[in-house]
Amino acid sequence: MTLPPGPRHAEAAAPTFAVRTSALKKTYKRGRIVAVGGLNLNVPLGGVHGFLGPNGSGKTTTIRMLLGLVRADGGTMEVLGREVPARLPEIIDSVGAIVEAPTFFPNFSGSKNLTILAQGIGVPTRRVAEVLVEVGLGGREKDAFRTYSLGMKQRLAIAATLLKDPQLLIFDEPTNGLDPGGIREIRDVMRNLGDAGKTVLVSSHILSEVQQVADTVTIIGRGRTLAEGPVEAILAQGRQSVRVGIADRDRAGGVLTSAGYRVVATSPETLRVERPDAAPDPAAVARILGHADLWPFELTLEADSLEDVFIALTTSAQPDRPHLPAAPFGGPTTPQGGAA
């Protein structure tokens, strides 16, 4: 199945996807622990892609496999159109990654750490000072890495990825442990990179953050794809309802039920109104109530957040429970989840 690219940079030439995996598998302890169990991941080229899943769902393991740090037991992986890990060296200069906590030599300064990296990849060492200024570490570059705050460590890690001027940036839980200011800073960095035509793959379990910054998402659970697609499409899979505030709650409930709506009383004067097959239209609800001479004082469209959808999906991914199908990018909703 050929899937169209992401929403913000649809004009990007081949390869169409920044990252693709098919039936990717990784187990530990001779197969007894399944970290990734047949994952299909499709990250469109350009924009910010959220890679979501609860702790232990296989996000970091997947990222490590993409970067050649961990060997896959099965399946295939492509990064920027090259099969990895075999052809990873061909595209590594176009890939910047921060996997979990930033890891540098603790006794070396930020500048020394980056200088060694720059030497290793053949980047002029003058670029080190430039990227340090870019991430706001200009005054602290001579301090030992171990003296940096968590936010500074993250910024140094971002500076390291910028040494390469990458087309694909992979951030694994980049806001872990950061204060609200730091979180916003990282979010802005990711958004700016995405808007500049780069592909940002960000794994996280802080969904409100991802919802604000991502164009597309993949939700995984127990090492398998549960849903993927544009954020709007994923959100559309969630529950949408109209909250109705009305004095004669019981009669309003009866009228709406007769009209085919599912109605739940949530307080003495409010109802939650849903349609089993589609999102309810507040105007239609108002019309039906008006014909019955019922006049609501509140009509509010309510939609599940990404977090609600995520919880629904990951909960339904538990064994013996059905889960929602994946929503391919721009295509019809078809069952596509994890292989195997």
Partner 1 sequence: MIRLLAAEANRLLSRRMIWAVVAGIIATAGLAGVTSYFGMRPPSAADVQQQQQMRDQVLADCKASGTSADDCAQQVTGMAQEVPTHDSVMKNADSMGGTIGGFLALLLGASFIGAEYRSGSLGNWLTFVPQRGRVFAAKALTVAAASLAIGVLAVGAAGLVTTGFLRLYYPAVALDAHTLGQAGRTSVIVMVQGLIGFVAALIARHTIAALGVMFGAQIIEQIVTGVAQTVRGAEWLIPLMPSVNANAFIQNGYKYQLIDLTKIEATGGPTFTDKILPFANGAAYVGIGLAVVLAGAYLVFRRRDVQ
Q: Which is nearer to partner 1, 112 or 251 (CB)?
A: 112
CB nearer to partner 1: pick between 32 and 321: 32
- For residues 156 and 96, what is the distance between their CA atoms, to the nearest angstrom? 13
DSSP string, 54-92: -TTSSHHHHHHHHTTSS--SEEEEEETTEEETTTHHHHG
Of 201 and 244, nearer to partner 1 (C-beta) is 201
Q: Are 81 and 247 in contact (CB under 8 A)?
A: no
Short-list 55, 23, 51, CA closest to 231: 51
Fill in the per-residue mask, 67 to 106: x = in contact with partner 1 (CB under 8 A), - = not in contact: xxxxx-------------x--xx--x--x-x-x-xxxxxx
115 versus 167: smaller Cβ distance to partner 1: 115
315 close to 53: Cβ distance less than 8 angstroms: no
CB of residue 114 vs partner 1: minimum separation in angstroms? 11
The residue (of 95 and 246) whose beta carbon lies closer to partner 1 is 95
162 binds partner 1 (CB under 8 A): no
What are 37's two structure tokens? 């169990």
Nearest approach in angstroms of CB 31 to partner 1 is 15
| Cα-to-chain-centroid distance, residue 58 | 13
Instruction: Report the phi/psi class of residue 122: left, alpha or beta, with left for phi > 0 and alpha for psi in -120 to 50.
Output: left
Among 9, 49, 64, 155, binds partner 1 (CB under 8 A): 64
Q: Considering the complex, what minimum distance in angstroms separates the CB of residue 103 from partner 1?
A: 4
The DSSP output letter for 291 is: H
Q: How far is the CB of 267 from partner 1 (least distance, A)?
A: 51
Using CB under 8 A, which of the segments 6-14, 43-51, 109-117, 272-280 binds partner 1? 109-117
Binding residues among 181-200 for partner 1 as defined by CB under 8 A: none
Query: In sequence order, what are the residues at sequence separation of 6 or more whose Cβ sits closer than 8 angstroms to the Cβ of residue 216?
Result: 6, 7, 43, 44, 47, 48, 49, 50, 228, 229, 230, 231, 329
Site map 116..135 versus partner 1, x via CB under 8 A: xx-xxxx-------------
What is the CB-side half-sphere exposure of residue 161 using CA atoms within 13 A?
28
How many residues of this chain bind partner 1 (CB under 8 A)?
A: 31
Query: Which distant-in-sequence residues (6+ apart) come within 8 Å of 147 by Cβ?
Result: none
Residue (108 or 292) nearer to partner 1, CB = 108
Residues that bind partner 1 (CB under 8 A): 64, 67-71, 85, 88-89, 92, 95, 97, 99, 101-108, 112, 115-117, 119-122, 160, 164
